[in-house]
Amino acid sequence: MQVYADNAATTKISAAALGAMMPCYEKFYGNPSSLHTVGQEAKEVLEDCRSRMAKLLGCDAREVYFTSGGSEADNQAIISAARLGERKGKKHIISTAFEHHAVLHTLNRLEKEGFEVTLLDVKENHNITARQVKEAIREDTCLVTVMYANNEIGSVLPIAEIGEICKEAGVPFHTDAVQAVGHIAIDVKAQNIDMLSLSAHKFHGPKGVGALYCRRGLALTNVIDGGAQERGKRAGTENLPGICGMVAALEEACAHLEENTAKVTALRDKLIAGLSQIPHCDLNGDRVNRLPGNVSFCFEGIEGEALLLYLDMEGVCASSGSACTSGSLDPSHVLLAIGRVHDVAHGSLRLSLCEYNTEEEIDHILTVVPQVVERLRNMSPVWRDLQSGKREYIL
Amino acid sequence: MALYSEKVMDHFKNPRNVGVIDNADGVGEVGNAKCGDIMKIYLKIENNIIEDVKFETFGCGSAIASSSMATEMIKGKSIFEAMELTNRAVAEALDGLPAAKLHCSVLAEEAIKKALKDYFDRNNIPYDKKQFPDCENCQHCH
């Protein structure tokens, strides 16, 4: 049995999305910037997609900018707010310690330019409160950028409350909603969101395409210079097949949001309950405000990459925040930010579900994970020391 | 999976010599849990021959495979031959390791040397200290 449980990494494209892309290769292959009929037909398709995307987000079509994905949208949103801020002498940015690297690394770049960044602590409930944001806002704050939901541990942040606080304070508010769009109901106007990043492949759309919503009145700074596409704010011939696939996927996701949420949440809760039975493990992330598909655990005494490889042999595709999977000596910054010590953070496992997963698949995961954890513990000197009392259990 | 060679995957799937030797003649542990790798080697030595060797490893796939391969390479050999084992030989025997994982083979060599040093110390056998890694002062994990 092959179980794909890595939907936070990427999802399988939906039939609706794939179906919507094909005409762009076969019929609407023109360049939307071309004046001729074939180009103008493509332009019509593009603008139709923009209107439909706007409707799904609760904004105006002129506020939607298509990008190459979530990272680009995050970069552009943050850089734009920073440029607007520094013109007014405001060079302070508020974010969280467990943001995606697309946000954190952009903030690092700005820090080198002299910006000051406050990263809100996420240890309490593995989340932040709107109050923390309120207390961090200063006279010179030019941006609050807070993710909608965390990709590794599934915590869903109090976005509407933060939006209200930012609106009152007159501070632009950006949210990296890559993990939330298509999984949680979003209305940018009702939630007072000024900028929002999204990525198609996280909701059964194609890879390499995303969007940035930017409230009218907030001027974007280009991160890609060139032609006048996207109202001069993002150069490069539009990825029309990708955009069509993205919009079709999001329409489908939003149309089935309630039933998908109910189904996936039930699978998630069954998985969490089952894995919690394994001794000396702990759930990562907010237990209440949580993405429907996220299951994230730390298991004491084992290392995550070995866990993933054994699970893969049993047909389970998952991910981990261990150092060996992060490509550095340190485990995931998210796990460290929520207060996991290195020893424990190395033994993390993330299973991210979607509506394509079945109850039988959850049963399979629940059969193999305890076996693999036990197998690794049985060859681990750390586990032996824990059991003999030479080392103290953390979890 | 293309991340590792078939040899690595074979030793990872079916690790040789996993376990503990009670009353071992030499024991060596290297690495630490903070950086995600710990290897522990147990040796049974008779007449300068490594009669038995077992390992325990907390670490990634290549750490487990490196321990397994290294124990196989020294089992039945003399302690003098075992002293000659290099991390490069372990990595080569595994048909190579990804660059980021070469330290796993280093740990395997160091764990074996540390177990041998333990044996020499216990039996008052003189040795040249330079032959052994200085694990306590190594910067690898700190």
pLDDT tens per residue across span B90-121: 999 999 999 889 999 999 999 999 999 999 99
- CB atoms B56 and A329 under 8 Å: no
The per-residue pLDDT for range A127-154, each reduced to its tens digit, is 999 999 999 999 999 999 999 999 999 9
Query: In the CATH scheme, what is the code of domain A257-388?
Result: 3.90.1150.10
Q: What is the mean pLDDT of chain A?
A: 97
Class of domain B6-122: alpha beta
Chain A residue numbers touching B33 (CB-CB < 8 A):
342-343, 346, 382
Q: What tokens appear for A93 in the block?
A: 């940015």
Which of B15, B40, B60 lies closest to A324 in CB terms? B60
Given an 8 Å threshold on Cβ–Cβ distance, is B56 in contact with A379? yes
Q: Which of B15, B35, B58 has the CB atom closest to A381's CB atom?
A: B58
pLDDT recorded at residue A324? 74
pLDDT reported for residue A342: 93
Q: Please name the residue of chain B whose CA is at the shortest distance from the CA of residue A381.
A: B56
| Residues of chain A numbered 308-327 and touching chain B (CB < 8 Å) | 309, 312-313, 322-324, 327
Chain B hits for A378, Cβ within 8 Å: 18
pLDDT of residue B35: 81
A65 touches chain B (CB under 8 A): no
Residues of chain A above pLDDT 90, percent = 97
pLDDT tens per residue across span A330-387: 899 999 999 999 999 999 999 999 999 999 999 999 999 999 999 999 999 999 999 9
Mean pLDDT, residues A192-220:
98
Asked whether residue A305 carries a pLDDT value surpassing 70, the answer given is yes
What DSSP assignment string belongs to B75-118? TTSBHHHHHT--HHHHHHHTT---GGGHHHHHHHHHHHHHHHHH
Q: Chain A closest CA to B52's CA: distance in Å? A: 17
Is residue A9's pLDDT more than 90? Answer: yes
Q: A305 vs B61: CB contact, 8 Å cut-off?
A: yes
For residue B131, name the pLDDT band (cuts at 50, 70, 90).
Answer: confident
- Residue B142: the pLDDT is 41
Task: Check if A374 contacts B (Cβ < 8 Å).
Answer: no
Q: Identify the pLDDT of residue B33.
A: 82
Q: Which of A118-122, A229-233, A250-254, B98-102 has the lowest mean pLDDT?
A: B98-102
Tell whether A373 lies on the interface with B, counting CB pairs under 8 A: no
Cα–Cα distance measured from residue A379 to residue B127, given in angstroms and rounded to the nearest whole number = 31
Indicate yes or no: CB of B36 within 8 angstroms of CB of A302. Answer: no
What pLDDT is attached to residue A194? 98
A58-91 per-position pLDDT tens digit: 999 999 999 999 999 999 999 999 999 999 999 9
Exposure b/e, A269-290, CB count within 10 A at least 16 = b: ebbbebbeebebbebbbbeeeb
Contacts (Cβ under 8 Å, ≥6 apart) of A331: A304, A321, A322, A323, A340, A342, A345, A346, A348, B36
Is residue B34's pLDDT more than 90?
Answer: no
CATH 3.40.640.10 residue ranges in chain A? Answer: 15-255
Closest Cα in chain A to B4: A309
| Interface touch B60/A303, C-beta < 8 Å | yes
The mean pLDDT value for A246-265 works out to 98
Is pLDDT above 60 for B1? Answer: no
- Give the per-residue pLDDT at B128: 85
Which fold would CATH assign to domain A15-255? Aspartate Aminotransferase; domain 2 (3.40.640)
Q: Is the pLDDT of residue B135 over 80?
A: no
- Chain B residues within 8 A of A311 when measuring between CB atoms: none
d(C-alpha A119, C-alpha A133), whole Å = 10
Chain B residue at shortest CA distance from A311: B13
pLDDT tens digits, A187-199: 999 999 999 999 9
A367-372's contacts with Cβ under 8 Å and 24+ in sequence apart are A368/A311, A368/A314, A368/A315, A368/A316, A369/A275, A369/A278, A369/A311, A369/A316, A370/A275, A370/A277, A370/A278, A371/A314, A372/A307, A372/A310, A372/A311, A372/A314
Q: Does residue A245 register a pLDDT over 70?
A: yes
pLDDT tens digit string along B59-84? Answer: 999 999 999 999 999 999 999 999 99
- pLDDT at residue number B138: 61
Query: Residues A49, A244, A281, A324: which is the catalytic one?
Result: A324
Domain span(s) for CATH 3.90.1150.10 in chain A: 257-388
Residues A281 and A276: their CA atoms lie apart, in Å, by 7
Q: In terms of pLDDT, which residue wins out, A326 or A359? A: A359
- Whether pLDDT at A178 is above 80: yes
